[in-house]
């Protein structure tokens, strides 16, 4: 696929042939011409509501056809789309509506029934269905204008809104379609929330390549397996907790055979997960990717390198500039840990109505007047491949040693005694911090795990405490809720 260096309004992303399938669901297939018509009619309805240009319109919906249309219809109508994760509850929804000053909340009756008086501001119109208006043509908006505000999951506090322009979304769609080598023949199973930048991009990048998306709200991992077989999905995207669940169940051959591409973001793959996915899906390319909402996607690893570099997050994607910088702003040497900094047209416009946090995160970098400082520590190897080490606020410091939680977690999981693990540093008077590991699995395996770790890890990395649970909590995007676990343990240690 040829990368177009210019940006367009995001609703131009519908590039497929008119009679080719674009959206697959239990109601059947929607062709590109039908989706284009539906986007135009929905945009016409939104434009007819009397909102001022640039007004925020929120959607809080399951993965319906309406939810798939809103990211294109709202910007076509000159409005800013605010997708709300359907897993969020009324308190988080109320915060997002108030913070964004939304003119409209478009939801459906079951979710509307959970709202209480005061949750929806008096300036926000509540609608449980959308109509059709006069067909609006494709947008001619300046690609630099805002198209969406995506709110982070809020695991470390109240969600904050990341402002994305038409150009941000456009370049993200074109870049991902290019490096994943998506084609009009691809069918992408959309299991991630559309409010998650990774999930929404599945829609946009697939349509940019002329392929079809099959949105799926699933209750159990088996629902995902059945949907892959039902739609003949060629592409499946996930986050590490989902891969762990999917590897724990049986896959019939009719679900394995069509898959040609697995993509991971939202957390680093472990060597154990890489090995498991490669064994289960030998005919599928495995793409390890890294990103953050403020810069969308930053790196990917060529699938040909995954077996030799299972813990790598690769190199910069098209249109992205990434740097590994020391605290003083100079570039780190190969092998030297540093902060991953992102620049280029994928960098978001800042945080909605939050100048202080915008100034803290979006700062100049060498050669760039504006970049995103991620707070993530990485190491670049001599070949230019990057390896994720950990977030600065998650690094464990014991007796002068800086330890990556991921390194401990990989060691804990390597023997199969636990299904999932999160390593957290808690205050310790003698050494500064001590490692607590929260695990999903059977506590009866602890003696075997302790014995193995004494063999495999140095003394200063040995966990001091083990907290066994049936399952580990996840945030609204399906990631392990590390921040919530850390907060609960810290509060418990000081009470």
Task: Note the pLDDT of residue 469.
Answer: 95
Better-predicted residue by pLDDT, 303 or 244: 303
Highest mean pLDDT among 32-36, 86-90, 375-379, 483-487: 32-36
Measure Cα distances from 298 to 16, 168, 218, 292, 323 in Å. 26, 13, 28, 8, 10
User: Which pLDDT band, with edges at 50, 70 and 90, does 172 fall under?
Assistant: very high
Examine residue 139 and state whether it is found in any structural domain, yes or no: no
Q: Is 185 a member of any domain? A: no
Q: What is the pLDDT of residue 154?
A: 44
Q: So what's the pLDDT on residue 400?
A: 59
Count of domains forming the chain: 1
Reply yes or no on whether the pLDDT at 2 is more than 60. no
Residue 348 maps to a domain:
no
Q: What is the pTM of this model?
A: 0.84
pLDDT score recorded for residue 477: 76
Which tens digit of pLDDT belongs to each residue from 108-155? 999 999 999 999 999 999 999 999 999 999 999 999 999 999 998 543
In this structure, are residues 484 and 475 in contact, taking their beta carbons and an 8 Å threshold? yes
How confident is the prediction for the chain on average, in pLDDT? 92
Q: Of 102-106, 314-318, 488-492, which range is least confident?
A: 488-492
Q: Is the pLDDT of residue 456 over 90?
A: no
Q: What pLDDT score was predicted for residue 174?
A: 95
Nearest Cα residue to 88 out of 130, 126, 119, 42: 119
Q: Does 475 fall in a domain?
A: yes
What pLDDT is attached to residue 495?
53
In a domain, 453, yes or no: yes
Whose structure tokens read 């993509």? 263
Per-residue pLDDT averaged across 98-105, rounded? 98
State CA 231 to chain mean position distance: 23
232, burial (CB in 10 Å: exposed 0-12, middle 13-18, buried 19+): middle
Lowest-pLDDT range of 91-95, 227-231, 261-265: 91-95
Would you state the pLDDT for residue 158? 67
Residue 487: inside a domain: yes
The pLDDT value given to residue 487: 86
Confidence label for 336 from pLDDT (cuts 50, 70 and 90): very high
> Is 160 within the bounds of a domain?
no
Q: What is the pLDDT of residue 358?
A: 96
Average pLDDT estimate for 212-231: 96
* Domain extent at residue 445: 394-494
Separation of alpha carbons 362 and 356, rounded Å: 10
261 pLDDT higher than 50: yes
Say which CATH number the domain at 472 has. Answer: 3.30.300.30
Res 3: pLDDT: 46
Cα dist from 460 to 385, 407, 434, 457, whole Å: 28, 13, 9, 8
């Amino acid at each position: 696929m040829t990368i177009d260096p210019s940006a367009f309004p995001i609703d131009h992303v519908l590039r497929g042939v008119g009679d080719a399938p674009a959206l697959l669901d239990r109601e059947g297939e929607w062709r590109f011409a039908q989706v284009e018509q539906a986007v135009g009619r929905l945009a016409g309805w939104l434009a007819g509501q009397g909102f001022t240009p640039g007004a925020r319109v929120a959607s809080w919906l399951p993965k319906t056809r309406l939810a798939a249309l809103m990211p294109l219809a709202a910007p076509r109508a000159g409005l800013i789309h605010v997708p709300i994760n359907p897993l969020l509850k009324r308190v988080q929804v109320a915060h997002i509506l108030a913070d964004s000053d939304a003119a409209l909340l478009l939801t459906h009756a079951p979710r509307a029934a959970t709202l209480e008086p005061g949750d929806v501001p008096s300036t926000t119109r509540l609608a449980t269905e959308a109509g059709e208006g006069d067909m609006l043509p494709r947008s001619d908006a300046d690609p630099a204008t805002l198209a969406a505000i995506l709110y982070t999951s809020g695991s470390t506090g109240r969600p904050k809104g990341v402002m994305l322009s038409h150009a941000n979304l456009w370049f993200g769609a074109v870049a991902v379609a290019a490096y994943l080598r998506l084609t009009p023949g691809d069918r992408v199973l959309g299991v991630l929330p559309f409010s998650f930048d990774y999930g929404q991009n599945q829609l946009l990048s697939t349509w940019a390549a002329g392929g079809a998306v099959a949105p799926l709200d699933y209750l159990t991992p088996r629902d995902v397996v059945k949907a892959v077989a039902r739609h003949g999905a060629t592409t499946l995207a996930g986050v590490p907790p989902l891969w762990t669940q999917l590897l724990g169940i049986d896959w019939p051959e009719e679900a394995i055979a069509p898959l040609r591409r697995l993509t991971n973001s939202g957390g680093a793959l472990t060597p154990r997960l890489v090995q498991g996915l490669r064994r289960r899906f030998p005919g599928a390319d495995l793409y390890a990717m890294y990103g953050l909402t403020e810069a969308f996607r930053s790196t990917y690893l060529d699938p040909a390198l995954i077996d030799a570099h299972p813990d790598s997050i690769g190199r910069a994607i098209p249109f992205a500039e990434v740097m590994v910088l020391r605290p003083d702003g100079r570039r780190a040497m190969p092998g030297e840990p540093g902060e991953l900094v992102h620049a280029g047209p994928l960098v978001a416009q800042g945080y909605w109505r939050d100048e202080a946090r915008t100034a803290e995160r979006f700062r100049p970098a060498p050669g760039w007047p504006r970049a995103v400082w991620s707070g993530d520590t990485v190491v670049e190897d001599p070949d230019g491949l990057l390896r994720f080490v950990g977030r600065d606020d998650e690094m464990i410091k014991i007796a002068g040693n800086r330890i990556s939680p991921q390194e401990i977690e990989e060691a804990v999981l390597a023997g199969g005694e636990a299904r999932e693990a999160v390593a957290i540093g808690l205050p310790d008077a003698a050494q500064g911090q001590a490692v607590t590991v929260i695990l999903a699995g059977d506590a009866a395996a602890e003696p075997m795990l302790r014995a193995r770790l004494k063999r495999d890890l140095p003394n200063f990395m040995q966990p001091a405490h083990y907290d066994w649970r049936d399952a580990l909590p996840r945030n609204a995007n399906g990631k392990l809720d590390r921040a919530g676990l850390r907060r609960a343990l810290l509060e418990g240690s000081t009470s």
